[in-house]
């Protein structure tokens, strides 16, 4: 067997929970002196520690495509950030033999005030490529991203779809030996997702590059990966065949009630600090039934003003294939909001998805970034159309657009 291109030994990551930087110097000095005051008895202070990863070990061979799978909060994004060198492990060691390109979230590695063209060359320089090397790939990158018309526009004006198309094109065409992708298939239309899958298969097969892919899309895992690294509560269950990993993952998923509390859900470190999704549900607890009207709501809290803000709800099959996305900016442009608590309601007069169970994800969108996003927070049932109700049995191809309403519910 060849030398591993990635070796992880004893990787752990600890975060300190609680309020950071919210106490004064006087408060801290008082606590310190109290500890040394004669006769003082002080209670043990809870550590407030959260271990996102604990003692993770694995070896990955050159040319492998490895899926990283596990429930929300399992440590997948934290592991990829450590592999991408955007954060350091608390303990352990990572050895990687090659240049690393990564796409961890929309906008990562892009300067918002630079144009698409400038950001392509910037990313190439970060990878250690010369301007001539990047120039040789430039036309191919732009063609893949399908943004020729906007290549000299500052990327802060890009939509989230344009952002992710360019980001994936850059990551996949600038020839890093190791490519790290986090939920790249969660954004974008079906055609773009197919292009991504084809490109990942091509660069692994023909170029021998190694890919680590975090996704909830089980079809993508089956198509691309021979093995998956399964994470559970920050610990690794090891590399296993992809079908074994999918079966284990499916056993963990249970249907959820129509109202889902989001406020305490585990998030990547720092996500949800400014904008926090609080609750997701159907209005009145109504069932979702094919061909009938339905309204969803998302409660969210803004701790500071936000600009060009929207919320979205995504529906995927149990295998992870995204089949429907509802965005609050589908009919109206993104709005500016002041701090407060709000409820966004998104409704459809005709529900187009047939009877089945669907994973539900939701996200807060600010311009081209995602200040809060939660994948697969629920597994909801869609019921068949009622036999005695035909009012809404029209063609789904002729359904009205998404209706949107946003109201402030608290300061």
Do residues 243 and 263 both lie within one domain? no
Q: Global pTM? A: 0.61
Do residues 244 and 263 both lie within one domain? no
Do residues 230 and 329 both lie within one domain? no
Residue 143 lies in a domain: yes
Number of domains comprising the chain: 2
Query: Averaged over 54-69, what is the pLDDT?
Result: 92
**CA–CA separation, 408 and 68 (whole Å):** 39
Q: Is the dihedral of CA 155, 159, 164, 165 positive or negative?
A: negative
Q: For position 77, what pLDDT does the model report?
A: 85
**CA–CA separation, 34 and 192 (whole Å):** 60
Q: Is the dihedral of CA 103, 107, 108, 113 positive or negative?
A: positive
Q: For position 41, what pLDDT does the model report?
A: 45
Residue 240 lies in a domain: yes
Do residues 145 and 289 both lie within one domain? no
Residue 3 lies in a domain: no
Q: Which of 205, 223, 251 is the last residue of a domain?
A: 251
Residue 327 lies in a domain: yes
**CA–CA separation, 221 and 201 (whole Å):** 11
Residue 61 lies in a domain: yes
**CA–CA separation, 169 and 183 (whole Å):** 15
Do residues 177 and 86 both lie within one domain? yes
Do residues 263 and 238 both lie within one domain? no
- Show Cβ contacts of residue 248 under 8 Å, excluding neighbours closer than 6 positions: 230, 237, 240
Q: For position 32, what pLDDT does the model report?
A: 52
Do residues 239 and 264 both lie within one domain? no
Residue 36 lies in a domain: no
Do residues 275 and 396 both lie within one domain? yes
The rounded mean pLDDT for the chain is: 81
**Residue 298: CATH number of its domain:** 2.70.50.60
**Residue 236: CATH number of its domain:** 3.40.50.300
Q: Which of 233, 251, 269 is the last residue of a domain?
A: 251
Do residues 164 and 266 both lie within one domain? no
Most confident of 176-185, 293-302, 368-377: 293-302
Domain that holds residue 155: 51-251
Do residues 209 and 87 both lie within one domain? yes
**CA–CA separation, 124 and 106 (whole Å):** 18
Residue 82 lies in a domain: yes
Q: For position 262, what pLDDT does the model report?
A: 92
Alpha helices in 146-260 (DSSP H): 160-173, 190-205, 218-224, 242-251
What is the token pair recorded at 260? 């889902």
- Show Cβ contacts of residue 383 under 8 Å, excluding neighbours closer than 6 positions: 287, 288, 289, 290, 355
**CA–CA separation, 79 and 12 (whole Å):** 9
Contact call for residues 108 and 163 (beta carbons, < 8 A): no
Report the percentage of the chain scoring pLDDT > 70: 83
**CA–CA separation, 140 and 205 (whole Å):** 19
Contact call for residues 355 and 382 (beta carbons, < 8 A): yes
Do residues 266 and 404 both lie within one domain? yes
Residue 37 lies in a domain: no
pLDDT tier for residue 235 given thresholds of 50, 70 and 90 = very high
Q: Is the pLDDT of residue 181 over 90?
A: no
Query: Averaged over 340-362, what is the pLDDT?
Result: 90
Q: Which of 198, 231, 251 is the last residue of a domain?
A: 251
Query: Averaged over 290-296, what is the pLDDT?
Result: 90
Query: pLDDT tens digits for 148-171?
Result: 889 999 988 887 778 778 888 887
Do residues 94 and 241 both lie within one domain? yes
Q: Is the pLDDT of residue 360 over 90?
A: yes
């Amino acid at each position: 067997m060849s030398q591993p291109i990635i070796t992880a030994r004893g990787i752990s990551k600890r975060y300190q929970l609680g309020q950071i930087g919210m106490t004064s110097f006087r408060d801290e000095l008082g606590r310190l002196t109290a500890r040394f005051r004669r006769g003082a008895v002080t209670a043990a202070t809870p550590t407030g520690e959260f271990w996102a990863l604990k003692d993770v070990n694995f070896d990955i061979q050159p040319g492998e495509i490895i899926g990283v799978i596990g429930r929300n909060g399992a440590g997948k994004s934290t592991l990829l950030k450590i592999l991408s060198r955007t954060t350091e492990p608390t303990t352990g060691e990572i050895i990687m033999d090659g240049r690393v390109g990564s796409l961890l979230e929309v906008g990562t590695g892009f300067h918002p005030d630079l144009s698409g063209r400038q950001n392509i060359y910037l990313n190439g320089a970060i990878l250690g490529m010369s301007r001539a090397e990047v120039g040789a790939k430039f036309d191919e990158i732009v063609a893949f991203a399908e943004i020729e018309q906007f290549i000299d526009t500052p990327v802060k004006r890009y939509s989230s779809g344009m952002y992710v198309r360019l980001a994936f094109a850059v990551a996949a065409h600038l020839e890093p030996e190791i490519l790290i992708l986090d939920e790249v298939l969660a954004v974008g239309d079906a055609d773009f997702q197919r292009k991504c899958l084809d490109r990942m298969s091509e660069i692994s097969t023909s170029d021998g590059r190694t890919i680590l892919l975090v996704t909830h899309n089980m079809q993508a895992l089956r198509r691309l990966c021979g093995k998956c690294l399964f994470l559970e509560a920050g610990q690794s269950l090891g590399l296993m065949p992809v079908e074994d990993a999918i079966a284990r993952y499916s056993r963990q998923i249970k249907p959820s009630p129509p109202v889902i509390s989001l406020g305490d859900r585990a998030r990547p470190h720092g996500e949800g600090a400014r904008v926090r999704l609080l609750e997701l549900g159907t209005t009145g607890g109504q069932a979702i039934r094919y061909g009938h009207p339905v309204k969803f709501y998302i409660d969210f809290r803004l701790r500071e003003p936000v600009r060009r803000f929207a919320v979205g709800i995504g529906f995927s099959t149990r295998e992870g294939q995204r089949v429907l996305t509802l965005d609050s900016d589908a009919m109206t442009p993104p709005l500016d909001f002041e701090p407060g608590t709000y409820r966004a309601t998104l409704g459809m007069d005709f529900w187009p998805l047939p009877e089945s169970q669907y994973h539900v994800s939701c996200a807060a969108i600010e311009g081209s970034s995602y200040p809060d996003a939660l994948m697969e927070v629920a597994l909801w049932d869609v019921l068949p159309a009622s036999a005695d109700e035909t009012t809404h049995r029209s063609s789904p191809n002729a359904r009205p657009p998404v209706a949107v309403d946003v109201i402030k519910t608290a300061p």
